[in-house]
Amino acid sequence: MSMHSVFVYGTLRRGGSNHFRMDHAEFVGLGKVAGAIHLIDSNPELVFPALKLDVEGHVVGEVYRVSETLLKSLDAFEGICERYEEPYEYRRVRVGVEMETGGSVSAWIWEWNSGLDGARPLPEGDWLLYEPNPS
């Protein structure tokens, strides 16, 4: 079975409202990536994180190993599938993750692929400090 490393930085993290989606994933460790995270809250019923890799800063998160099936399920959760029109709000790209224990790994990440008009930067780079509905 093909396995993939993924970096999650928002609601999929332990303590996040969608962490249950990671039930069949293997936790690897804590890490951070270069970039910045923003709070998208244009709809009070739908608040979520948006990470941009091409900006200064860092974003904390977790690395997991997931199956091909779970990777496709996470793509669908992030809106990357045939149910949605392109361009998608997110895009899955490979990124280097600096691990808390030292070293680095290459992992898939879901980067925000839309505009940031009205988005609020989260300078600490930690979504769990802001998530309004944690589990």
Q: 3-129 maps to which CATH number?
A: 3.10.490.10
DSSP bridge pairs for 112: 90
Residue with tokens 């998530």: 131
Ranges of each domain in the chain: 3-129
pLDDT of residue 112: 96
Does residue 87 have a cis peptide bond before it, meaning omega lies within 30 degrees of 0? yes
pLDDT of residue 133: 55
Is 18 buried (19+), middle (13-18) or exposed (0-12) by CB count in 10 A? middle
Residue with tokens 């290459």: 106
Number of Cβ atoms within 10 Å of the Cβ of 132: 9
pTM for the whole structure: 0.92
Pairing mode of beta strands 36-43, 46-52: antiparallel
Residue with tokens 């392109």: 86
pLDDT truncated to tens, each residue of the chain (135 aa)?
A: 799 999 999 999 999 999 999 999 999 999 999 999 999 887 767 788 999 998 899 999 999 999 999 999 999 999 998 888 888 999 999 999 999 999 999 999 999 999 888 899 999 999 999 886 554
Q: Classify residue 128 by its DSSP letter.
A: G
Q: Classify residue 22 by its DSSP letter.
A: G
